[in-house]
Amino acid sequence: MKILSENPSDHWGFLTLRDKVVLDLGCGRTWQQEPTTPEYFLQQGVKKVIGVEMWHNEKIWFEENVKDDRLLIFADTIDSSDKICTYLRDYTPNIIKCDIEGAEKYLEILTQKDFDCVEEMAIEYHSDELADMIKSKYKDWGFKNITFYEMPLFHQQGVLCLKK
């Protein structure tokens, strides 16, 4: 299966979103992206989106432009496994969308217990090493199925979707 654009319906359209709590790690806007991933998730009927983006100006943009009580935005850098665990513990998301430009490496030491609340996780990767790590760990994290989504327009990039 192929992802041909940054548009959220193409890029993340395979996620089962209705009535779910989504942890959107790397929720910031890109030049191609219309709507943003949090807006797309809200349009799909999620219960709540917890958006995390490292740039404070993105947090301000969302607060000023997306008026929806189901959206909670944080300006935060994912720079440790502990940060990811804090969001998992505090918000118990059913779905994780992870596009944090290499910081996905902090998932590696997490355990099945850390992912107890998560039913589905989609991780964009930017290196073969990261893809290999995810492929080697997904069963340890408690997921049963893995689907590869190729991004042919980008070298060494794709999305891995994990499901329980």
**Confidence check: pLDDT of 4 > 90:** no
**Confidence check: pLDDT of 24 > 80:** yes
Arithmetic mean of pLDDT over the chain: 94
pLDDT at site 101: 87
Q: Where are the domains of the chain?
A: 8-163
Alpha-carbon distance of 161 to 159, in angstroms, equals 6
pLDDT at site 6: 84
Alpha-carbon distance of 52 to 114, in angstroms, equals 18
Token pair of 12, please?
Answer: 């993340």
Categorize the per-residue pLDDT at 152 as very low, low, confident or very high, splitting at 50, 70 and 90: confident
> 129 in helix, strand or coil?
helix
**Confidence check: pLDDT of 9 > 70:** yes
Q: What is the pLDDT of residues 106-144, one digit of tens each?
A: 999 999 999 999 999 999 998 999 999 999 999 999 999
pLDDT at site 33: 62
CATH number of 8-163: 3.40.50.150
**Confidence check: pLDDT of 32 > 70:** no
Q: What is the pLDDT of residues 35-94, one digit of tens each?
A: 999 999 999 999 999 999 999 999 999 999 999 999 999 999 999 999 999 999 999 999
Alpha-carbon distance of 143 to 140, in angstroms, equals 7
**Long-range Cβ contacts of 133-138 (<8 Å, 24+ apart):** 133/105, 133/108, 134/104, 134/107, 134/160, 134/162, 135/160, 137/107, 137/108, 138/162
Cis peptide before 35 (omega within 30 of 0): yes
